[in-house]
Structure 1
């Protein structure tokens, strides 16, 4: 786990770890709102929804329910990796708890920190004992089992801030979740030194929203894997979030696509709360169509651009006749379910224009009537010479 932010000099609050779960305690809360929250500004979307009635499954290293940001937010889940009695609510690494805080951290703790969807709930599913890379051949099968189990627990979004190798069972599990109407968001993957960009799974599977990382300036984080399967981007550097061992906060200066995926999962939760009828394909379409596009519209580093929660909820996605190359999803993409609002707006504008013209035409008639005091006028008679 990365070192704490150097600027946090106040002694940390006493750790209150979950029973038999000695997770990292962390330090004090950040003194100001983290840059990622300032950049995405999720509060601008909360007038529409805060993520009510949505549950996000976090398939990760577990999620601790003890931190103030997550009290009352974490359901009983399941552990697929050695601690079944903890029901996924033990996080020895701290990774899953940060991810959960980014997605659904409360906004009423007094700290300048919240999740993207603070009214959403978290289903914790533990498949990772730590954050170390592993070649365990059983991991893809564990993740597949976790995806299937989570899908059957009435969740609307699954967050996968992890990567593994391709496996037929993992692909089938993703298809199962998508077929049940669950939005699947995954990290695009992080490069190691001297490593070439290789597809990361489950992010590279069709239908999964693959998320890359950006820095404070909106540029591509160098460690974030690039590829044509990348759909969208979100903050992935200089990350801070809740620690599992009490009331403290942990810092991740190196960041990673794990945390970028969490920001997009929070935005997906907002969309599902506002429009529960949308399919996973429609949610992905709305997220990518409303992202802050790169100049060329789409590229392998950022996908369609940086997620924009407010625009994702409020934009009226009409038809553009001259989109920049790559800016729009390919032909055949799902029709936007909120497009009808644009049609209604056009009809209302047209009716208003007709009414305005009628009022202008009636103005001279009204003036003439007033001069005559509304008495009928006489028709001029012609006289023959």
Structure 2
């Protein structure tokens, strides 16, 4: 995981601690399903609010042809309805002008504050950054914008900087997102505690998948350890697990590898919104997942007849692959939003490895055929005979000359 800076080190380290159980959980429930703490998958080095905006277009958007990406939709379906994306995180701050018009505040909920709320409080900034990558509206003075700027966000505050978020409250947050009509759910947090499908969290994830919702989750930032291990909820069946890629379309060093990785997306030097005003730069798989969630929102808007599974397949099939199939580092490849939107003439099927080169075959000697006729062969033999005869005559004549010369020299000497 990228190193913390002084102020944020203590803040996010506290998120790892196991603290409170979700409000309303009975002692028996807690005993059966321990409230495993969830980690926020971002570096947490941003400050807010910012006094100035980041004017340039971020690198993760520079590689996209936004006009082509948005040629059909920016997040609204053919009837003009916005795709609904639930952001289950540390809340989404409504004060940032790029997000104020994107939120369905009435559908939001706060699982951290005992008094409840609408999910628009964010004391950490993590959830506001995640939300911006999905649906930040264009704003004068900055080149940053979300991938689906017409989508609607459901703000759900389920975690904070003191580690109050856990697997049980995440389960409740997912249930709330399902009830509020989410079509895409983004979860940028994880635990490496091995949870079963029968856990409360596992059941809630399966409920969301069964409700035809695209569930996107970050893989985690422990890739520097070199160990391949599952993190949850990303590793649950039906969840699109997202790793982080860098500017070279290679796995970011911190991105958690494993056999559950579905795709990778930009997660290094990511620009996004912060509470109050402005934008900042951050790193982590936390910011790769919403990049994919934004793409999922565009696909849902364009293809209302596609299932959530088909949306996932389309994202995987059109990703830029480093190998013929998938691997444990970037899954089926680094997502390509423009390709996913433009190569959509047929309903997608499950991804398969690319065909490799044909297998090599052993070389075979080419058969030789004699095309000489019998007459040609006789003429050739006759030519050989004449040539040999001429050579013999020359040899005999030469020998006779040598013998004659030798006799003449002997007579002179006598």
- Name the TM-score, length of structure 2 as normaliser: 0.68
Secondary structure of the corresponding residue to residue 99 of structure 1: helix
User: Is 1:63 equivalent to 2:92 in the alignment?
Assistant: yes
- Mapping for residues 252-267 of structure 1, pairs under 5 Å: 252=282, 255-267=283-295
Larger Cα-atom Rg? 2
Does the Cα contact within 8 Å between 1:215 and 1:236 map onto a contact in 2? yes
- Where do residues 1-385 of structure 1 align in structure 2 (5 Å cutoff)? 24-52=48-76, 53-76=82-105, 77-82=108-113, 84-130=115-161, 139-164=166-191, 165=193, 166=195, 168-191=199-222, 194=225, 196-244=227-275, 246-252=276-282, 255-315=283-343, 316-317=345-346, 324=354
Structure 1 distance, partners of 2:57, 2:225, is 34
| 8 Å CA contact 1:40, 1:307 repeated in 2 | no
Structure 2: distance between partners of 1:122 and 1:319: 28
Unaligned runs of 5+ in 2: 6-46, 77-81, 357-414
Q: Is contact 1:27-1:250 (8 Å) kept?
A: no
Aligned-partner Cα distance in 2 for 1:323–1:80: 42
Q: Distance in 2 between matches of 1:325 and 1:188?
A: 28
* 1:52-103 deviation line (CA, Å, top 9, x unaligned): 1101000000001111211211112001112644310010000000110000
8 A contact 1:68–1:109 mirrored in 2: no
Does structure 2 retain, via aligned residues, the 8 Å contact 1:54–1:121?
Answer: yes
Q: Is the 8 A contact 1:234 1:260 kept in 2?
A: yes
Please, which runs of 5 or more residues in structure 1 have no aligned partner?
Answer: 4-22, 327-385
Q: Quote the residue 2:399 is aligned against.
A: none
Deviation string for 1:217-252 (max 9, x for gaps)? 1111011000111011110111121111x2222221
**What is the aligned-residue RMSD (CA, Å)?**
2.4
Deviation at 1:304, TM superposition (A): 0.8
User: Offset at 1:195?
Assistant: 6.6
DSSP-derived class of the 1:231 partner? strand
* Residue-by-residue CA offset, 1:33-69 (whole Å, 9 max, x unaligned): 0111112444422111100110100000000111121
> Residues 30 and 154 from structure 1, CA distance in 2 versus in 1: closer, same or farther, beyond 3 angstroms?
same
Q: How many residues align?
A: 299
SS of structure 2 residue aligned to 1:202? coil
Q: Displaced runs of 4+ in structure 1, greater than 3 A? A: 40-43, 83-86, 192-195, 316-320
How many Å separate the matches in 1 of 2:202 and 2:349? Answer: 33
Give me the whole-angstrom Cα distance separating, in 2, the residues matched to 1:71 and 1:192. 35
CA contact (8 A) 1:291 1:305 kept: yes
C-alpha distance in 1, partners of 2:294/2:226? 30
Further displaced range: 29-38 or 142-151: 29-38
What secondary structure, in the 3-state scheme, does the structure 1 residue paired with 2:244 have? strand
CA distance in 2, matches of 1:26, 1:200: 33
Q: Deviations over 1:234-281 (max 9, x none)?
A: 10111121111x2222221xx111100010000000000111222111
